[in-house]
Structure 1
């Protein structure tokens, strides 16, 4: 039987003399003899021949390579630096967690195991998302004592505004957890309230506080802007307390004496706290512009 012999040739590329001098190697493929050049030798010699025939290419590579290498190294070092910084952040967080586990969790294991089964907080706290205002740190709430919701400017939208995350949290806290107190906590230097006072046409979340802005402008327009903002920070708390009464299940429990509504104002400039309770007796006026407070206290 005759054997077929295949030879490779390129119609466009001619092999350099160095390659032609290399001995060919015969390989049997499906019973046929296949002559092939050593691939490693071809590749190596083609690159050598290219550099010989094109000295400018070789010079360009020599000139550009160090800069490219330096750039790659710099980028790698920056990436490593970023990763190390992130690792340091979580290293500190890990240390805090392990300290919490050792000093609090394990020391009060029975309490935390009971919390794993159910929660029965007496308070719902609605506070600002500002990183400087942490209700648990300020007021000393321990795990299981307060159901906390945080949003921009600690605003409570009226019931007729439709579903929001705050509305859902209110329904769960009042109807399922049956909290006995709702505390709305505002604070000094609130960026959300400042935005509310600056923006003329409001179309974002802080539109919920528009009524507080109008009352502030009507009451203290003669004061400077910072003082107006401080006034509005407290006025918005009272407006949120009144908005709570627009929820039927909240109003019902308030009228039955099962739920109390409180306001709080944390001034982190001088570290003081004001606390008051909305007067919700049966003779209260339901006119939005009229309300009264009771049990006011100032902690300093």
Structure 2
């Protein structure tokens, strides 16, 4: 069984600490068998002070770290980020015990730990949007993307702030076991299996019109039209807005452009069809609005790093060749 070890450090944020056990402990096979074992540990095996008005008791110490298949670091600390020692000797000693091939995950500002350890040098990563500029100044060798909810760079993954930890854990379940399992987890935990857009939609911005109309109805309508081209003018007409107003409000609400969002939705539809149907790739390309198999292949490789045939081979429900965890990095 895949073991997830959650390392609680002094000043840990309680909400984020609880995310991995809630998501991974819910994941089960069709027969109800658990797919993950989740352990929570501290560096010394003793109670851990949180950033709230209570401490948490854990049953494991740093000896659990080298047993991890996936190691998750929730955010912690309560002082200015520049003054925090993000990689003190006891933590460095624990990291030295991580087995080669272990998947390492940070949630929110725990990305500072991975950066301080040198694990993000030359790699893409994210953190909470209001820390992104400071993070980039402290670690200029990291390719910081402040707009996304999470970054999957193979065996090192980083999530943005707070609930983005849920998004990343759901992504890991889907990456390991496919959409059907992830959707079951989402229903049990009453969370979306996949959220639209990135954290850019949560960044504080002035809203010029207090009664501004939403683009949500048009987005819902567009999801039923993915099989055909949908020009920006048609989206704006449906929302009864000018193209300029629609584009601005769409980006404010979703965090991306209408064209980028449509491509994301087409890719997600294609992934679902590859996972759950026997339709030929050419037909899936038509259903998802890509037109040709070549176009679908191009977009799937650009988005998740693999062609349709390999994606179907990896994620197709019930495929005996599927080996959880051996998924090409997206």
Instruction: Provide the TM-score with structure 1 as the length reference.
Output: 0.25
Instruction: Provide the TM-score with structure 2 as the length reference.
Output: 0.23
Flag the structure with higher helix content: 1
Bigger radius of gyration: 1
